[in-house]
């Protein structure tokens, strides 16, 4: 079809608006009557404008959006002292609703939330020291966008720097964020984001002295994704929220974490299953962990599957399955190599044990056996060693186990470095765990997947 006449086409918009003068309209209509391209072109123009009307906004704004926004507005007003919002009820009137919110990335928030949830849900008379402390609502500090296949992460968010210096105990953790995942921090935390020369993203989150002061340095490592998919973090959070509402009032904090671990594990399993059929993997292997990387700080259980025929380097190409990260309360890494599989967890017993329990039902028997083996070891540690009873004071599992000098993980009560850092205010969670274990009649034997409860 020929294009409309340029001069007439330029009048389409005015004709559509009805803003042509009488004389102009007469000229326009007369031309359209005689010129097919212009007539058809104008009809197409009007149809396009009519279809464009489909983009007009409709419906109501989402309530959750408004709630979140008003919360931010309230905080903005509080911080600046200008335009402080006043209201007659709800969060603006003071005192926020305590709400457990689990974030994969913020270990400090996890520690605080875990302690709070423990104090609220446990029947133990020895409640956590933070049981009555109102919780802070985590707020997003930015989102991580992933580039697939070993490419650096680009962070988009708000950079904030430390405002004061703390005497801190540096603990380096490593974990991976899924694409589109949002880092969240508590208002009491100070966040600093920087990009290392190696291209890794360094996020330092310093928490305030609610329980103890400390700083976490998160190193975002390169991660090869099993497939070009993202986890819709909002959906994950919805699932977590639903579990909180259903599980916490009935079963308590431990089972809540177990359930959440199952949720995230399901995500990980799905992503493994969604891996593309074609093995379009990079020829270069993943970089080995640097000597000071926190791989050594994690509680690691390795299943030795030594094979008689060691694969040649060419055979290794593509044989290495990418590490699967479970976006649980703490990072759980399952790394499969041609000759072994490694299960690594980070965190104290309060988070490690539920993760391991969740893995007992893993469809992969190898993983389940590793989890069972580790749980059996923990059981022995807790119960146990009669040589230790009465001689060592219990230590809180919330204290990170770091012993770079020995380069290996030690049970916390055997680690003089950890014991040195413990404070008397901390709740002896080991006793609580032992009591819980016995009360629930857990029987875990190495090599068995079933758990008797």
Partner 1 sequence: MSDDVEVLGNHETAPPVPPTRMDRTSLADSHDPPDDELALRAAASDRDAFESLVRRYGPHLQAVVDHHVGDPHRGLDVAQEIWLKVFRALPRFRPEGSFRSWLFSIALNHVRDAARSERRSRVMYLDEFRFSGGSSLRHDPRGRTEEKAVIENALREVSEPFRSAVILVDVMQLSYEEAAESLGCRIGTVKSRVNRGRLAFRDEYDRLSSGATERRSLRDGGHA
Residues 198-237 that bind partner 1 (CB under 8 A): 228-232, 234-236
For the segment 324-363, give every residue that binds partner 1 (CB under 8 A): none
- How many of the chain's residues bind partner 1 (CB under 8 A)? 73
Q: What are the angstrom distances between the C-alpha of 145 and each of 139, 140, 177, 230, 329?
A: 18, 14, 9, 10, 21
Q: Which stretch binds partner 1 (CB under 8 A): 94-102, 127-135, 262-270, 346-354?
A: 262-270
Query: CA 297, CA 306: separation in Å to the nearest integer?
Result: 24
Secondary structure of residue 342 in the 3-state scheme: strand
Which residue lies nearer to partner 1 by CB, 51 or 197? Answer: 51
Applying CB under 8 A, among 96, 126, 154, 246 the residue interacting with partner 1 is 154
Closest approach of Cβ 331 to partner 1, in Å?
19
Closest approach of Cβ 145 to partner 1, in Å?
4
Which residue lies nearer to partner 1 by CB, 17 or 439? Answer: 17
Applying CB under 8 A, among 55, 278, 306, 441 the residue interacting with partner 1 is 55
Query: CA 119, CA 108: separation in Å to the nearest integer?
Result: 17
Which residue lies nearer to partner 1 by CB, 75 or 340? Answer: 75
Which residue lies nearer to partner 1 by CB, 139 or 448? Answer: 139
For the segment 157-196, give every residue that binds partner 1 (CB under 8 A): 179-180
Q: For partner 1, what does the binding mask look like between residues 91 and 110, x meaning CB under 8 A?
A: -x------------------
9 lines the binding site for partner 1 (CB under 8 A): yes
Which residue lies nearer to partner 1 by CB, 202 or 442? Answer: 202
Q: What are the angstrom distances between the C-alpha of 26 and each of 112, 175, 296?
A: 76, 71, 84
Q: Are 214 and 172 in contact (CB under 8 A)?
A: no
Applying CB under 8 A, among 2, 24, 30, 46 the residue interacting with partner 1 is 46
Closest approach of Cβ 384 to partner 1, in Å?
40
43 lines the binding site for partner 1 (CB under 8 A): yes
Residue given tokens 């259903």 in the structure block? 246
Q: Are 266 and 376 in contact (CB under 8 A)?
A: no
> Nearest-5° angle of CA 265, CA 269, CA 273?
170
Distance of CA 318 to the CA centre of its chain: 28
Q: Which stretch binds partner 1 (CB under 8 A): 52-60, 195-203, 352-360, 423-431?
A: 52-60
Query: CA 295, CA 360: separation in Å to the nearest integer?
Result: 23
For the segment 278-317, give every residue that binds partner 1 (CB under 8 A): none
For the segment 67-86, give every residue that binds partner 1 (CB under 8 A): 68-70, 72-74, 76-77, 80, 82-86
For the segment 11-40, give every residue that binds partner 1 (CB under 8 A): 12-18, 32, 39
Closest approach of Cβ 35 to partner 1, in Å?
12
Q: Are 415 and 402 in contact (CB under 8 A)?
A: no
277 lines the binding site for partner 1 (CB under 8 A): no
Of the chain, the end-to-end C-alpha distance in Å amounts to 77
Closest approach of Cβ 234 to partner 1, in Å?
7
Closest approach of Cβ 368 to partner 1, in Å?
21
Closest approach of Cβ 74 to partner 1, in Å?
8
Listed residue (241, 285, 289, 291) closest to 263, CA to CA: 241
CB atoms within 10 A of CB 330: 24
Which residue lies nearer to partner 1 by CB, 93 or 441? Answer: 93
Ramachandran region, residue 313 (left: φ > 0; alpha: ψ -120 to 50; beta: rest):
alpha
Which residue lies nearer to partner 1 by CB, 145 or 434? Answer: 145
Could you give phi then psi for residue 423, rounded to 5 degrees?
A: -120, 160
Q: Are 206 and 166 in contact (CB under 8 A)?
A: yes
Ramachandran region, residue 387 (left: φ > 0; alpha: ψ -120 to 50; beta: rest):
alpha
């Amino acid at each position: 079809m020929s294009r409309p006449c340029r001069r007439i086409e330029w009048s389409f918009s005015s004709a559509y608006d009805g803003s042509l003068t009488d004389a102009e309209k007469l000229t326009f209509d007369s031309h359209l009557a005689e010129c097919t391209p212009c007539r058809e072109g104008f009809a197409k123009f009007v149809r396009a404008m009519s279809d464009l009307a489909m983009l007009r906004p409709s419906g109501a704004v989402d309530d959750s959006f408004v709630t979140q926004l008003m919360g931010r507005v309230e905080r903005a007003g509080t911080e600046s002292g200008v335009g402080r919002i006043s209201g007659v009820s709800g969060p603006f009137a003071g005192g926020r609703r305590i709400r457990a919110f689990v974030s994969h990335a913020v270990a400090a928030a996890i520690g605080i939330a875990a302690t709070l949830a423990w104090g609220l849900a446990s029947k133990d008379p020895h409640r956590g020291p933070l049981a009555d402390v109102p919780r802070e609502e985590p707020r997003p500090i930015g989102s991580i966008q992933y580039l697939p296949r070993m490419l650096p992460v680009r962070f988009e968010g708000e950079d904030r720097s430390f405002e004061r210096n703390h005497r801190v105990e540096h603990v380096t953790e490593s974990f991976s964020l899924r694409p589109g995942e949002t880092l969240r921090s508590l208002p009491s935390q100070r966040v600093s984001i920087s990009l290392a020369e190696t291209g890794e993203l360094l996020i330092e989150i310093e928490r305030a002295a609610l329980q103890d002061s400390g700083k976490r340095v998160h190193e975002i490592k390169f991660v090869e994704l099993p497939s070009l998919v993202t986890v819709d973090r909002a959906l994950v959070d919805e699932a977590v929220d639903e579990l909180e509402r259903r599980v916490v009032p009935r079963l308590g904090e431990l089972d809540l974490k177990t359930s959440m671990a199952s949720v995230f594990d399901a995500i990980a399993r799905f992503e493994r299953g969604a891996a593309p059929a074609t093995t379009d993997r990079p020829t270069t292997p993943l970089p080995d962990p640097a000597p000071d990387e926190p791989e050594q700080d994690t509680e690691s259980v390795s299943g030795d599957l030594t094979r008689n025929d060691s694969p040649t380097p060419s055979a290794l190409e593509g044989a290495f399955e990418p590490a699967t990260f479970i976006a649980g309360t703490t990072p759980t890494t399952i790394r499969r190599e041609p000759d072994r599989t490694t299960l690594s967890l980070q965190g104290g017993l309060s988070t490690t044990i539920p993760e391991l329990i969740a893995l007992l039902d893993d469809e992969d028997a190898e993983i389940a056996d590793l989890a069972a083996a580790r749980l059996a070891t923990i059981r022995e540690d807790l119960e146990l060693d009669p040589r230790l009873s009465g001689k060592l004071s219990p230590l809180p599992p919330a204290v990170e186990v770091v012993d770079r000098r020995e380069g290996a993980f030690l049970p916390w009560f055997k680690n003089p470095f950890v014991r040195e850092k413990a404070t008397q205010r901390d709740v002896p969670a080991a006793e609580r765990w032992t009591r819980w274990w016995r009360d629930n009649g857990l029987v875990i034997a190495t090599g068995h997947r079933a758990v008797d409860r």
